[in-house]
Chains A and B, each alone.
Chain A
Amino acid sequence: MAKPPAWNITCVLASRENAADALLSETEKQLEGRGWDERDRYCVRLALEEAFNNAMEHGNRRDETKHVTVDCRIDGDRFSASVADEGDGFDPEAVADCLDPENLLRTRGRGVFLMHTYMDRVRYNETGNCVTLEKSASRDAQQG
């Protein structure tokens, strides 16, 4: 069977809860169609949701006049995405350690940790308002 063509989508989303839901579902569906296993699909969905929520909440501060631009690409066993907001950016090194006992009871602050835990690579631009996520499938993706 021929290798499925690369999938790429760019969405400009409102800074509103649930605005990325359709994109998350479609990305998961595209991964499944390329033979990515359930765990890997969940890893991608989790990291993408965390990146969008951070952009919406911390970047754009839920200002619905500002947008989150998400660019997703799947090429065989490689997934990558960039998630950019219109905020001033942040210093990822300054994010509190969510595993510190003093922070365990906090209701927020776990998104960055989860992105790093479940992606192969997480990078920020210099401004800190665009994150790039990368992951490879744990096993060879099915070729159709």
Chain B
Amino acid sequence: MSTESFITTNVVDDDILVINLRGKLDSATTKEFEDVVQQHFDEGKSKIIIDCAHLGFISSLGIGSLVRMQARLKKRGGAVKLAALQGMAAEILRAVRVDKMLDIYGDAEFARQSFSQ
């Protein structure tokens, strides 16, 4: 587990990285988020679930980061999947049609199961 409060991580099914975000994914936090993703990308992982149950807000920097991540993971045959989106973060992501590019699930467990289908 990360010691940072904004972001915590765990690995399920050996190769799926689950990232739990809390608060805001914006100019103050996107770099930290990308550093965590990069570390696991460097380890060869290509499946990521982002649990957004406690994500209240996302700006275009955070959105761009998600889109960039999806493109990189797809090249490796993987994907980033969003889970438990709610509130303003869900509204913003749908407004810019990120739901057309990333799969969104009701919770992290559904997202996990989808990787094995």
Report the separation of the CA atoms of residues A50 and B41 in the bound assembly, to the nearest whole angstrom. 28
- Across the interface, B61 reaches (CB within 8 A) one of A38, A42, A53, A105, namely A53
Within 8 A of A (CB), among B18-53: 26-28, 31
* Interchain CB contact under 8 A, B96 and A98: yes
Within 8 A of B (CB), among A37-67: 38-39, 42, 45-46, 49-50, 52-53
Q: Which residues of B contact A107 (CB under 8 A)?
A: 64-65, 67-68
Stretch of A16-24, A74-82, A128-136 that contacts chain B: A16-24
User: Known: A106-B67, A110-B64. Is A50-B59 also a contact (CB below 8 A)?
Assistant: yes
* Interchain CB contact under 8 A, A53 and B67: no
Does A125 touch B at the CB level, under 8 Å?
A: no
Does B88 touch A at the CB level, under 8 Å?
A: yes
| A46 to chain B: closest residue by CB | B59
Q: Which residues of A contact B95 (CB under 8 A)?
A: 113-114, 117
* Interchain CB contact under 8 A, A104 and B97: yes
Does B63 touch A at the CB level, under 8 Å?
A: yes
Other than the given A49-B59, A104-B101, 14 more pairs (CB < 8 A) read: A17-B31, A21-B27, A24-B28, A45-B57, A46-B92, A101-B100, A104-B97, A107-B64, A107-B65, A110-B63, A110-B64, A110-B96, A114-B60, A117-B95
Q: Which residues of A contact B68 (CB under 8 A)?
A: 107
Count, chain B residues at interface, CB 8 A: 22
Does A11 touch B at the CB level, under 8 Å?
A: no
Question: Top 5 A-B pairs ranked by shortest CB distance?
Answer: A107-B64, A110-B60, A42-B88, A111-B60, A107-B68
Q: Which residues of A contact B56 (CB under 8 A)?
A: 38, 42
Q: Which residues of B contact A52 (CB under 8 A)?
A: 27
Binary interface profile of A, 83-108, with partner B (CB < 8 Å = 1, else 0)? 00000000000000011010011111
* Interchain CB contact under 8 A, A114 and B67: no
